[in-house]
A = this chain, B = another copy of it.
Amino acid sequence: MIRFGVLGAGRIGKVHAATIAANPKAKLAYVADAYPAAAEQLAAQTGAKVASVEEIIASGDVDAVLIATPTPSHADLIEAASKAGKHILCEKPVSLSVDRINQCLHVVEKNKSTLMIGFNRRFDPNFSTVESRLRRGDVGDIEIVTIISRDPAPPPAEYVKSSGGLFRDMMIHDFDMARFLMGEEFVVVNALGSALVDKAIGVEGDVDTAAVQMQTASGRIAVITNSRRATYGYDQRIEVHGSTGMLSARNIQNSSVELWNASGLAGDPVQNFFIERYAQAYANEINTFIDAVDTGNTAPRPSGFDGLQAQKLADAATLSWQTGKPVQVA
C-alpha cells in the first residue's frame, strides 16, 4: 500500500486525490494546502488527514508525494521530497527556468528518487494509442507531426504576466506531445506569435495565437498551432504522417447526437476543457505512477528529463518569437 501525501488541494489536486483514493494499491494519507479550508474539505471527502507540506515531506507514514502546488514551489518541493526519500509525481512544469530544472534533476539523480512529471496528455487513451501504434510501426518512418491545440477561452491578461508566456504555459504540453510522438529530439525551433484574441494579452508582452515548426537532426518536421480561444470547445487534435500511412486522433464531441434538417447537419461542440476532456488521462497518469512505484520501476515516463526538454523547447520558441529568428536547441 503506497501512502500518498497530496501537496495542493486545488482543482487538479482534487482530481488526483480521487484517483489515489480509488486505487486499491494506494492510500491517500495526507493533504496539504496554503488555504486550510481547501485541505480540510478534501480531507473530509477522502478520509485523509490535513498536515503541512513540511510535515508531509518529513512524515515516515508517507511513501509518495503528489506536487500540485503553484509552479514557483515545484522545484523546491521536488528537492525536499527527494532528500526525504519520497517517490515524486509533480505537475508540469518543474520550473520556468531551465537552470533551475537542471539543479533540481541533479538532486533527484543523486538521491535516485523516482520522479514523474504530469504531462497528462500522454495518458489520454486516444493519444497513447497513437503513440504505441507509431512505435510498433503502423505508419512506417515518421515524417510530419501536426498538433492543433486551442483552449476554449483566454485566461485573464493578469494571469499571463506570471505564466511565463504562451509557449511556456500552454504550448509546453504540445512540445511534450511532439517529442512523445516523434521519438527524436528537435534541433531547431521557429516561432510566430500574435495577440489576436485579446489585445490586453499583447500589452502584457505575450501572445494568444502562435505557430511553431521544429525539425529533428534527421529532418523530421513537427508543426504546432495554438490559440487561446476556440468557440467550439477545447480543440485537441494530433496527426502523424509517415512513410506508410497517417495516424490521427479526432476531437471528442459532447455527444453522438446529430440533427439533420433544412440547414443540413448539426452536431455537438467538442468537450469544453481539460478536466472533462482529459478525465481518463488524469486517472491513467496517477495509476501509471502508482504501478511504477508498486513494481519498483524507478524511471516512469514522462521523466524529469522530459520536463527539462519540453522547457528547453518552450524557451527556444519564446526566443524565436521575440527575435524573429530560428533558434538552435542543444
List residues of A whose CB falls within 8 A of some B CB: 125-126, 129-130, 133, 138-139, 141, 143-144, 146, 148, 150, 188, 190, 192, 194-197, 209-211, 213, 215, 219-221, 223, 225, 227, 229-232, 235, 241, 243-270, 324-326
Contacts and interface: CB of A to CB of B under 8 A. Distances in A.
B248 A232 contact: no
Contacts of A229: 243
User: How many copies of this chain?
Assistant: 4
Given A195-B219, A250-B258, 18 more contacts: A126-B256, A144-B211, A144-B227, A194-B215, A196-B220, A209-B221, A221-B225, A227-B241, A230-B241, A232-B246, A232-B262, A245-B261, A249-B255, A260-B270, A264-B266, A265-B269, A267-B267, A324-B326
Nearest to A216: B194
A36 to B, nearest CB: 22
Given A129-B255, A213-B190, A260-B232, A197 B246 contact: no
Given A231-B262, A232-B245, A269-B262, A126 B257 contact: yes
Nearest to A138: B259
A229 to B, nearest CB: 8
B232 A265 contact: yes
A266 B249 CA distance: 12
Contacts of A141: 196
Contact of A194 (B219, B227, B254): B219
Contacts of A144: 209, 211, 225, 227
A268 B270 CA distance: 19
A325 B326 CA distance: 6
- Residue of A231, A270, A325 ringed by the most chain B CB atoms within 10 A: A231
Contacts of A232: 245-246, 260-262, 264-265
A111 B170 CA distance: 55
B197 A143 contact: yes
Contacts of A125: 255
A259 B246 contact: yes
A232 B265 CA distance: 8
A266 B246 CA distance: 10
A249 B256 contact: yes
A143 B221 contact: no
Q: Closest 5 A-B residue pairs measured CB to CB? A: A194-B219, A245-B261, A265-B267, A232-B260, A250-B256
A221, A235, A261, most chain B CB atoms within 10 A: A261
A251 B265 CA distance: 12
A192 B221 contact: yes
A268 B266 CA distance: 9
A257 B194 contact: no
Contacts of A244: 231, 261-262
**Centre residue among A210, A211, A235 by max chain B CB count within 10 A:** A211
Given A192-B190, A241-B227, A266-B263, A247 B252 contact: no
A225 B220 CA distance: 12
A153 to B, nearest CB: 11
Contacts of A219: 194-196, 209
A2 B197 CA distance: 49
